Structure 1
């Protein structure tokens, strides 16, 4: 599977989500914010999802859809979506296909041990499927506002 690069179309993919299968093809026609996060129902990931949820109408007004991605199962995503009233799709990527394509898997320190996990990252894809901006290794506070600003500037 190919990797992504700013200024280039994202590679073809098909992935299961809480809103059915999502592919490069289904994303075309409007901008997409695709954000990768480590784990459902953890504090930082919940805060990030709530930020995208609370600003969802702002993104849709700018003709932009939001898609979250983690290695969690569809069952976990369904529970997280219900608990947090998330209006956007969450992709289950247990085989790390999308994670590898977007190069978000990193070694991280957790409680003094090295573990392999998702580096929190967000990608802005235009309506033709071209990656136009990326944020890697980001912090949650203020991030959704920064992404929304980029979406509005692009629109």
Structure 2
């Protein structure tokens, strides 16, 4: 079943940085931004994470918690987070369960070859656990500002 705006997001749990186990239901009462990115320590993913990190105080003021998700392992995530100084946790989705739940695994082309990869996507979940907004096929420049504006609007 594909996740849809206005529908509750099925609860899930996954390993995250900072020795934390992420569980969606633990964040009821807060808004959540869950952004999916292709790979740790690559230029676009570093820029996107940095953009979210630079605005983290504004997201917190809008009652919104930010998490990044990729298929990289926890060790890679911890290194990426530490090197970039991200003030939020990264979720490891090695088995692609979370990626599949949000339908972000897509056929991509790189250097003329096709492969399955993570489509850069962001999801805003409201305080009741319903999907409020989604952005798929994200282009990094200006994206975080758009997500922040939506979080502020939702927080009312």
Q: Provide TM-score, normalisation by structure 1.
A: 0.97
**Secondary structure, in 3 states, of the residue corresponding to 1:133?**
strand
Q: How many angstroms apart in 2 are the aligned matches of 1:57 and 1:113?
A: 40
**Secondary structure, in 3 states, of the residue corresponding to 1:151?**
helix
- Confirm or deny that 1:17 pairs with 2:23: no
- Residue in 2 aligned with 1:52? 52
Contact 1:3 1:11 in 2 (8 A): no
Contact 1:40 1:72 in 2 (8 A): yes
Residue 28 of structure 1 and its aligned partner are, at CA, apart by: 1.2
- Confirm or deny that 1:4 pairs with 2:7: no
Residue 3 of structure 1 and its aligned partner are, at CA, apart by: 3.8
- Residue in 1 aligned with 2:61? 61
Residue 27 of structure 1 and its aligned partner are, at CA, apart by: 2.0
Q: How many angstroms apart in 2 are the aligned matches of 1:139 and 1:133?
A: 16
Q: Structure 2: state its 5+ residue gaps.
A: none
Q: How many angstroms apart in 1 are the aligned matches of 2:16 and 2:146?
A: 25
Q: How many angstroms apart in 2 are the aligned matches of 1:26 and 1:90?
A: 16
**Secondary structure, in 3 states, of the residue corresponding to 2:124?**
strand
**Secondary structure, in 3 states, of the residue corresponding to 1:38?**
coil
> What is the aligned residue count?
154
Residue 23 of structure 1 and its aligned partner are, at CA, apart by: 1.1
Kindly report which structure 2 residues correspond to 1:64-83, keeping only aligned pairs within 5 A, or say none: 64-83=64-83
Contact 1:121 1:135 in 2 (8 A): yes
CA RMSD of aligned residues (A): 0.8
- Confirm or deny that 1:120 pairs with 2:120: yes
Q: Provide TM-score, normalisation by structure 2.
A: 0.96
- Confirm or deny that 1:131 pairs with 2:131: yes
Q: How many angstroms apart in 2 are the aligned matches of 1:74 and 1:130?
A: 27
Contact 1:62 1:151 in 2 (8 A): yes
**Secondary structure, in 3 states, of the residue corresponding to 2:16?**
coil
